[in-house]
Amino acid sequence: MRLSGQDCERGTFSHRHAVLYDSDTREKYVPLLNIDEKQERFCVYNSLLSEAAVLAFDYGYSLDYPQMLCIWEAQFGDFANGAQVVIDQFLASSESKWQRMSGMVLLLPHGYEGQGPEHSSARLERFLQLCAEDNMQVANITTPANYFHALRRQMKRDFRKPLIVMSPKSLLRSPAATSRIDDFTTGSFQEILDDPTPAKAAKRLILCSGKVYYDLDAYRTANKVTDTTIIRVEQLYPLHKDKLAEIAQAHAKAKLIWCQEESQNNGGWSFIAPELESIFGRKPAYVGRDASASPAVGSLAIHKRELAAFLKDAFSI
């Protein structure tokens, strides 16, 4: 495994302790390199602050060493802007252009938490616009076990495809976003996650992707809503249409809603809306932030007002 990016050794959000240093001697210790004498290599590097150069280098690494889980992590998802030429010219299109396959993984911290326009969005919509012909995988994952299985799938498959992960920030410390040990040791990656507490006779079906699920679930619990089922789309591309068709059949009469925390012109809405209409046979209602030229507002107070407003709309329209 190779992991590189800005601040990867400790993790931008202090969520990783891949490398430890003795405060007196500055001796370096890597726990994941000290599991077993016969273990595989684990390499983690803090990179220079040039997204294009580092991603291009790691992309080349992924081509030459397909047996390696090669991961590039942006400090914030927005920083992938600096590597867009590599994403467009190579990652998304190299299999189509040159029949060169890559299992490269991009971890792009993404989530609307009131941190402003430069630290909120990994531009999910851009990656979805690049998707065609099963060229790559785009995921917005909500549980630790599902994240683990997504990475494991990269290496266990007999083919290679790039994996783009809208990786969480606040979920790293959220007591709601946890998994049991059994969830890691059994099962596989789930493209669609069913509602763990579904309504017995749902009048409203909300589909969403990413951490907004926890906001919706918290609102549902706090307001004692009993007529709404919430489904998580963990992988947006390729879309698991067969599973969604089963959900459509089971909720044929429910009000269909797509809820996202991103602005209407961003996020998954433009990509998912025609897909849902085709699968469900009716147009989904949109719930989320209004269209915006900026990825997010710069005021925490406005951010909270927007969140409260669209959560209310999700359960009342």
Which sequence spans correspond to the domains of the chain?
2-185, 192-314
Give the per-residue pLDDT at 13: 81
- Domain 2-185 matches domain 192-314 at the CATH topology level: yes
Give the per-residue pLDDT at 200: 87
pTM above 0.85, yes or no: yes
Distance of alpha carbon 104 from alpha carbon 56, whole angstroms:
11
Name the amino acid, one letter, at 276. Answer: L
The beta strand positions in the chain, using DSSP E, are 2-5, 20-21, 28-29, 43-46, 70-73, 105-109, 137-139, 163-167, 192-193, 204-208, 228-233, 235-237, 255-263, 285-289
- State the average pLDDT over residues 62-85: 94
pLDDT at 222 over 90: yes
**Residue 11 pLDDT grade (very low, low, confident, very high; cuts 50, 70, 90):** confident
93-121 tens-digit pLDDT: 999 999 999 999 999 999 999 999 999 99
**What is the rounded average pLDDT for all residues in the chain?**
95
The CATH code of the domain at 2-185 is 3.40.50.12470
Q: Which CATH number fits domain 192-314: 3.30.565.10, 3.40.50.300, 3.30.1360.120, 3.40.50.11610?
A: 3.40.50.11610
Give the per-residue pLDDT at 15: 84
